[in-house]
Amino acid sequence: MNTNNEGWIKTTCAYCGVGCGVEARPMSSGKLEVRGDQEHPSNFGKLCTKGIALGDTVIHDGRLLHPTFRENRQGEQTKSLAWDDAVELVADKFNQAINEYGPDSVAFYVSGQLLTEDYYVANKLMKGFIGSSNIDSNSRLCMASSVVGHKRAFGTDTVPVSYQDIEQTDVVVIVGSNLAWCHPVLFQRLRQAKQANPAMKVVVIDPRETETCSIADLHLGVKSGSDVALFNGLLSYLDENGHVDHTFVSQHTQGFDKALKQSTLESNAEIETGVDNQDLIDFYQTFAGANKVVTIYSQGVNQSSQGCDKVNSIINCHLATGQIGNVGSGPFSVTGQPNAMGGREVGALANTLAAHMEFDDPTQHQMISDFWQTDSLAKKAGLKAIDMFDAMKEGKIKAVWIMGTNPMVSLPDSDKIKAALETCPFVVVSDCIEDTETTRMADLLLPAQGWSEKSGTVTNSERRISRQRRLLPSPGSAKPDWWIVSEVAKNMGFEDSFSYRHEGEVFSEYAQLTALGHEEKPRDLNLIGLTQLDDLGYSRLTPQQWPVLELQSELVHRSLFSDYRFYTTSGKAQFIAVQHAKPLGETDKSYPLVLNSGRTRDHWHTMSRTGLSARLASHASEPYVQIHPITAQTYDILDGQLVEVTSQIGKVIARATTTKEVSEDQLFMPIHWNAVTAKQSKPCELILPISDGLSGQPEFKHTPVNISPLSMSSSAVLLSRVILNCDLFEYWSRQKIEDGYLYRIESSLGQKELIKPVQTSVERLSGEVMETTGANFYRAVNLFDHRCQQIVWVGEKIDESHVAQLIEQFSQTYDEKTKFDAMRISSEQNAA
C-alpha cells in the first residue's frame, strides 16, 4: 500500500474519466477522509464536488451483501448462497446453454466502471475460452463512435492528446461536451490556463448554453445533430482561404481531395447548423488562424446516429491543418467513465480482440491464442449492446451476465430491455447495490466490492494508468469482480488459465500481452515497462501514461503521433469523406420537439453512489426537464410544474424548469433518476433504439417528443430514516438527506383524499407520534430516541423554503424539554 506517515493512502477517484488522484484516510469512526493528491499529474490536488464527497458514499446503505438466488423474478423468495454454490450455479447454467445452443447463446454485458483487471479476465473468459465475442460494454453507449473514428483515421484507437496540451494551446474548441460539469477538474485546469493566458480562445459548440459556456469567447448553439455540416464547412473554409498545410497533407495523410470534395458538396453550413453566418466565420477564422488547436469532444458528438462521421469531420480539420502530434494540438475525445479507456485496451468491446489487436489479423489472433494457450479464441466479432439485447428478446441468448452497469436505465427503449431480460432464461447481475432496476430482473445477484474496497488499475482520458487501492473492508461477502469471474471460469473447466492469486497477477499478464508482436506490426498500446513489476512494484505503482516502454519514475506527458507516423498500412493518417445527414428520428406534428439527455453536475448515472450523499443531492433534488420559456408558454407550462413528456414509445414525468439555456425546439432531461429514486422519470423510456450504423452507439441526444402540463391538486412531503415505497402515488421522487430520505409527492386527488394513502405509505412509524389533521391538511411527526424518525406533511403545494425547514428539523436532536415544541412546531407549520 502506498501510505505516507500520516496514514493517507493514494487512490483514484471513482467517477469520471479525468481520473483524479485522491488521498484517503480511514478514520476510527469508520468514515473516510478524502483530499486531492497533489502529486497526481491529472489533478495536482484538485477535486470536484463529486470527488470531495467520495467519503459520504462509502456507507453501507442498500448494499448487496451475499450471493442471492431469486426463485422468481418478483424477488419474493430469495435465498442467500455460499460463494462456492453461486459460482457453480453460474458455471453450470452457462455450460448448459453452450452445450445445447453453442457459445453464441451466452453473453456478458460489462462496464467502464470495472477495473482493468476485472475487464481483462471477463474478456479472456468470453473470447478466449467460451469462444464467443458476445461481450460488450456500456462503453458502447459512450465511446464507440470515437473508437471507430480513431481507427478509421489513425488505424488504431488512439487518443493522442495529454491534459497539458489544453494548457499549452491557443484555441480550445469544445464540441458536445459539458466539460464544466462532466470533467470538472479538467475544466478547472482549462479555466486557469485561460486566466494565465488571456489570448487563449475557447469556443463551445452545443445546442444548449451550458455552464461550460461561462469561459467561452464564442458559443455556437448549433441545431441538434448538425456537427458534420459545421466541420465540413470549416474544412472548405480552410481550403478556400489558404489555411491547409499542404506539406503535412501530402506527406502524412491520404484522402484529402475526396474529403474536401464531399465537404464542398455540402449544403450550406449556415442553414444546416442554424448558426448565424458571422458566428460561423468567427469560429472558422479562430480555428484557421491559430498556431495550436485542441478540439475536446464528448457525447454530443459520440451519441448520435452520425457519431462516427462527426468524429471524423473533426479529425479531418486537424489533419488538414497539421494540428496533431505537436504540443498543444490535436483532437481529444474525453472518456466518460473512470475506466472507459481500460475497457478499450483489454478489448471488452464485441468487435475487438485484447490489447488493441484485431480479429482480421491472423498473426495477432494466433499470438493471443498462443499466449492464452487456447484453441477456442473467437474468430469473429460478437453482438454489440443493442443487438445483444435484441437477440435476447428474440430468445437467442440463454444466459447473460451483467456486471457493473444498469441497462434497464441506461439503454434506449427501457420496455424492450425489460422484455429482453424477461425472455432470457438465466440472468446474473454483479453489482454492489441490492436494489437497482436491473437487479430487479435477475435470477442470481452477485455482490461486488465497490470503490474503496476493490483494488486494481484504471486508465483515464489521457491514457494514464493509475491505481485504485483498497481503503476499507467490504461488507458481507462482497468480492472483487476479477475474482468472481475467475471462480466461474475455473468451475466451467478452465482452472489452469484463471488461477490468479491476486489482481497484480492479472495486471502483469495483461501487460505482457500488450508487449507482444510489436516487431511484426507496431501498435500504440504497449506496457512492456510494466511487465517486470513484482507484487511490491504493483502495490506502489505511480501513475503511468502509455505507451510505457520503461517504468516512469518521472512525470510523463506524451502526445502521440509526434513523428507523424500512424498505424495504418501506409503509415499515413486517413481523411474520411463524410456527409451531413439529418439525425434519424424526425420531429413531426405529434412529436414536434427534440429531447436531448445528459448529465447534472452532482449526480453520477443511475445514482447508485451519488444518491448516497446528502451534499450532492441538494444540487438537483428532483428529475427535471429543461424547457425554453417561450415553448413553455406555447404548451401552457409553468416553471416548476410537473409535466408529461411523451415519445412514440413511452412517457415520463418530470418537473419543468424554464430556462433559455435550451433552444425553443429542444428539451433536456438528466439521465440520473429511475424507478428506484422517482416515478417514471428516466429518459430511456422515451428514447428510440436508433444507433450509428458503424459504431452501434445509440442516439441519446435526439428523440422526437411532445410535452404537456400535468395538473395536480395536492402534494405531500415525507421525511423518513428508512426507504419508503411510494409507488401508489402518481408522482414521487426521493432525495437523500442527512441520515434519511425526503420524498416529494404530487397527486390529482384532493388534499383530503391524499391523506389516507400517505398514511399507508408511512406505516412504519414507530415512536411518539403527534398528528394534526384539518379539512385540507395533515401533519405528523414521530419522535424516537431524541430525533424525528419521520415527518409527514400533506397540503396543496410544496413550498421549497418549507421543505428546507423540515430538513433542518429532521437533522436536530431533541431533549425532553424541547421535544414537545419540536412536535408542535412541525405539525403546525403551514397548517393554514
Ligand X SMILES: Nc1nc2c(c(=O)[nH]1)N[C@H]1C(S)=C(S)[C@@H](COP(=O)(O)OP(=O)(O)OC[C@H]3O[C@@H](n4cnc5c(=O)[nH]c(N)nc54)[C@H](O)[C@@H]3O)O[C@H]1N2
Q: Which does 681 bind (CB under 5 to 8 A by kind): ligand X, Mo ion, ligand SF4, none?
A: none
Contact pick of 9, 24, 34, 47 for ligand SF4 (by CB under 6 A): 47
| Residue 47 CB, nearest approach to ligand SF4 (Å) | 4
Q: Which does 736 bind (CB under 5 to 8 A by kind): ligand SF4, Mo ion, ligand X, none?
A: none
| Residue 695 CB, nearest approach to Mo ion (Å) | 14
Q: Which does 19 bind (CB under 5 to 8 A by kind): ligand X, Mo ion, ligand SF4, none?
A: ligand SF4
- For ligand SF4, which stretch binds (CB under 6 A), given 10-18, 124-132, 306-314, 376-384? 10-18
Instruction: Report strand pairing: 21-26 vs 9-12.
Output: antiparallel
Most distant pair of Cα atoms in the chain: their distance? 85
| Residue 33 CB, nearest approach to ligand SF4 (Å) | 15
| Residue 736 CB, nearest approach to Mo ion (Å) | 23
Q: In DSSP terms, which residues pair with 294 in a beta bridge? A: 172, 330
Contact pick of 26, 41, 51, 112 for ligand SF4 (by CB under 6 A): 51
| Residue 678 CB, nearest approach to Mo ion (Å) | 21
| Residue 36 CB, nearest approach to ligand SF4 (Å) | 7
| Residue 137 CB, nearest approach to ligand X (Å) | 9
Contact pick of 149, 155, 331, 336 for Mo ion (by CB under 5 A): 336
| Residue 13 CB, nearest approach to ligand SF4 (Å) | 3
Q: According to the binding rule CB under 6 A, does residue 48 interact with ligand SF4? A: yes
Residue number, 108 or 700, with CB nearest to ligand X: 700
Q: Which does 205 bind (CB under 5 to 8 A by kind): ligand SF4, ligand X, Mo ion, none?
A: ligand X
Q: Which does 343 bind (CB under 5 to 8 A by kind): ligand X, ligand SF4, Mo ion, none?
A: none
CA distance 706 to 645: 6
Residues numbered 184 to 223 that lie near ligand SF4 (CB under 6 A) are: 184-185
Contact pick of 142, 222, 391, 421 for Mo ion (by CB under 5 A): 142
- For ligand SF4, which stretch binds (CB under 6 A), given 16-24, 220-228, 240-248, 739-747? 16-24
Q: Which does 48 bind (CB under 5 to 8 A by kind): Mo ion, ligand X, ligand SF4, none?
A: ligand SF4
Residue number, 151 or 701, with CB nearest to ligand X: 701
The 704-743 site mask, x for binding Mo ion (CB under 5 A), equals: ----------------------------------------
Residue type, 800: E
Pick the closest to residue 42 from 544, 469, 450 (CA basis): 544
| Residue 600 CB, nearest approach to ligand SF4 (Å) | 13
| Residue 336 CB, nearest approach to Mo ion (Å) | 3
Q: Please enumerate in sequence order all residues whose Cβ is within 8 A of that of 350, keeping only pairs 6 or more positions apart, or say none.
A: 133, 134, 135, 136, 140, 381, 382, 383, 384, 388
Q: Which does 612 bind (CB under 5 to 8 A by kind): Mo ion, ligand SF4, ligand X, none?
A: none
Q: Which does 454 bind (CB under 5 to 8 A by kind): Mo ion, ligand SF4, ligand X, none?
A: ligand X
Residue type, 79: K
**Helix, strand, coil share of the chain (percent; to 5):** 35, 20, 45
| Residue 337 CB, nearest approach to Mo ion (Å) | 5
Contact pick of 19, 112, 300, 696 for ligand SF4 (by CB under 6 A): 19
Q: Which three cell numbers stand for residue 740?
A: 434519511
Residues numbered 150 to 189 that lie near ligand SF4 (CB under 6 A) are: 183-185
CA dist list (Å): 601 to 50, 195, 619, 670: 8, 23, 8, 10
Q: According to the binding rule CB under 6 A, does residue 53 interact with ligand SF4? A: no
CA distance 501 to 481: 13
Q: According to the binding rule CB under 6 A, does residue 50 interact with ligand SF4? A: yes
DSSP code for 580: -
CB 69, CB 78: distance < 8 Å: yes
Total site size for Mo ion, rule CB under 5 A: 2
CA 755 remoteness from chain centre: 39
| Residue 466 CB, nearest approach to ligand SF4 (Å) | 10
CA distance 813 to 787: 5
Q: According to the binding rule CB under 6 A, does residue 16 interact with ligand SF4? A: yes
Q: In DSSP terms, which residues pair with 468 in a beta bridge? A: 456
What is the H or E stretch that residue 108 is in?
strand 106-110
Contact pick of 9, 10, 11, 13 for ligand SF4 (by CB under 6 A): 13
DSSP code for 103: G
Contacting positions for ligand X (CB under 6 A): 16, 111, 113-114, 138, 141-142, 175-178, 181-182, 205-208, 210, 222, 224-225, 227, 298-300, 303, 336-337, 403-406, 409-410, 430-433, 436, 448, 450, 454, 481, 596-599, 601, 603-606, 608, 671, 683-684, 687, 700-701
Q: According to the binding rule CB under 6 A, does residue 541 interact with ligand SF4? A: no
Kindly give the residue spans of alpha helices, DSSP state H, lying in 197-245: 227-240
Residue number, 113 or 714, with CB nearest to Mo ion: 113
Could you tell me where the beta strands, DSSP code E, fall in 440-574?
A: 444-447, 456-459, 464-468, 544-545, 573-574
Kindly give the residue spans of alpha helices, DSSP state H, lying in 728-769: 751-761
CA dist list (Å): 207 to 291, 596, 676, 702: 27, 9, 30, 11
Q: Tell the burial category of 381 from Cβ atoms under 10 Å away from its Cβ (0-12, 13-18, 19+).
A: middle
Q: According to the binding rule CB under 6 A, does residue 18 interact with ligand SF4? A: yes
Radius of gyration of the chain (CA): 27
CB 574, CB 255: distance < 8 Å: yes
CA dist list (Å): 86 to 93, 140, 517, 776: 11, 29, 39, 53
CB 219, CB 202: distance < 8 Å: no
| Residue 240 CB, nearest approach to ligand SF4 (Å) | 40
CA distance 178 to 441: 33
**Nearest residue to ligand SF4, using CB?**
51
Residues numbered 27 to 46 that lie near ligand SF4 (CB under 6 A) are: 43
Question: Which position has the grid cell 451519488?
Answer: 610
Residue number, 311 or 492, with CB nearest to ligand X: 311
Residue number, 309 or 481, with CB nearest to ligand X: 481
- For Mo ion, which stretch binds (CB under 5 A), given 142-150, 222-230, 429-437, 815-823? 142-150
DSSP per position, 458-480: EE-TTSEEEEE---SPPSTT-B-
| Residue 187 CB, nearest approach to ligand SF4 (Å) | 8
Residue number, 644 or 799, with CB nearest to ligand X: 644
Residue number, 220 or 516, with CB nearest to ligand X: 220
CA distance 567 to 348: 21
Q: Which does 185 bind (CB under 5 to 8 A by kind): ligand X, ligand SF4, Mo ion, none?
A: ligand SF4
Total site size for ligand SF4, rule CB under 6 A: 14
DSSP per position, 58-93: GS-TTB--S-EEESSTT-SSEEE--HHHHHHHHHHH
**Phi and psi, residue 346, nearest 5°:** -80, -10
**Phi and psi, residue 197, nearest 5°:** -130, 80
| Residue 604 CB, nearest approach to Mo ion (Å) | 10
| Residue 16 CB, nearest approach to ligand SF4 (Å) | 3
What is the H or E stretch that residue 426 is in?
strand 426-431
CA dist list (Å): 65 to 113, 435, 436: 19, 11, 14
| Sites of contact with ligand SF4 (CB under 6 A) | 13, 15-16, 18-20, 43, 47-48, 50-51, 183-185
| Sites of contact with Mo ion (CB under 5 A) | 142, 336
